[in-house]
A and B are shown apart, each in its own frame.
Chain A
Amino acid sequence: MTSWPSWPRPGKRVCEMSGLINLINKLSDLALPPLGQDIMAYLAFAVYVALIVGGGLTAVLARNLVRAMVGLVITFLGVAGMYLLLASPFLAFMQLLIYVGAISILILFAILLVKNTSSGEEAYRPGLPQAGLALVAAAGVAAIFGPVIALNEDLAAPPELPVETPLAELGQDLLNFYVVPFELISIVLLVAMAGGVLLAWDKRYRGKE
């Protein structure tokens, strides 16, 4: 039997918050031998990659912007699944909450507010020079980074099995060593919200005068 590189599984250090995940781990331990678990993990990875690539191509190539947004949501779901495979369920939850819940709704508002659905500017295909340049740029990036990733021996080394970091540890770090970035990001969010409201309300006042 050829040796599969053992796929990262959520370790035994599961925090108390995620009893359900713990239960699923135990059940899967009971149900499948390690090789079967590895095969299941590769299958799940393939499904998530299919979600990401399919959703991404829809988001980029769809002529209708609402459809593009739906493709983007599918991509977000695929990335959330990848976070689950990486034994970080909190990040997967945040991905669903922030990206799928908030940002895609913002993008939907943007699409609807600027009246740019199937009859707008995006209804026509980009010109040949533009599409060609886009493909050249993407192929350039892929040609640079693809071999770097594929040929790197450090990456090919058998990985450490990730253990799930307890949520309390993340919070401790956030309030001890990383307290300045933590506070800064709240300021950035506040300024962005205030600036957004200011920008969007300006003309309305002027129109009433």
Chain B
Amino acid sequence: MIISPLTLFMLAALALMVIGLVGLISRRTLVGMLISVEMLLNGAGLSVVAAAKLTPASDAVGQLATLFIMGLAAAEATLVLAMMVVVYRRFDTVATEALATIKDAQS
């Protein structure tokens, strides 16, 4: 039995999502979590484009949706970088364990 291309693309997107989810939960710092979130977003874009290209659905809409996802990912990465800089100045670490307190880590 040969699997159809659309199923294959969807399985690839699912693989991206699963790997990203493992990383998102098992990473201990904000940087590692950011890397995993980027992978989740990539999986979403891939599945949208595959669904738009290989079905009778409108092709341009799928591509535009993925372009919007890319723009949002860029904005999100910028903000997370700035937040990491602030958190690092305040807590001297970006480990999520240390951020679970309201007060500073040192006090």
Contacts and interface: CB of A to CB of B under 8 A. Distances in A.
Interface of A: 2, 4-5, 7-8, 45, 48-49, 52-53, 56-57, 59-60, 65, 68-69, 72, 75-76, 79, 82-83, 86-88, 90-91, 94-95, 98-99, 102-103, 106-107, 109-111, 113-116, 120-122, 126, 130-131, 133-135, 137-138, 141-142, 145-146, 149-150, 152, 155-160, 162-163, 165, 169-170, 173-174, 178, 181, 185, 188-189, 191-193, 195-197, 199-200, 202-203
A88 to B, nearest CB: 6
B25 to A, nearest CB: 4
A138 B6 contact: no
B67 to A, nearest CB: 6
Nearest to B29: A121
Nearest to A159: B54
A137 B19 CA distance: 11
Nearest to A105: B77
A83 B66 CA distance: 11
Nearest to B83: A199
B32 A65 contact: yes
- Tell me which of A56, A75, A99, A197 has the highest count of chain B C-beta atoms within 10 A of its own C-beta: A56
A56 B16 contact: yes
11 contacts: A59-B39, A79-B46, A121-B94, A134-B26, A138-B19, A150-B11, A155-B10, A170-B63, A185-B68, A192-B78, A195-B82
B35 interface: yes
A169 B63 CA distance: 11
B12 A49 contact: yes
Contact of A159 (B4, B23, B25, B75): B4
Interface class of chain B by DSSP: helix
B98 to A, nearest CB: 9
Given A121-B28, A138-B18, A170-B60, A98 B4 contact: no
Given A88-B49, A106-B77, A114-B88, A59 B42 contact: no
Nearest to A125: B26
A162 to B, nearest CB: 4
A141 B17 contact: yes
Contacts of A149: 7, 10-11, 14
A60 B22 contact: yes
B42 A142 contact: no
A79 B42 contact: yes
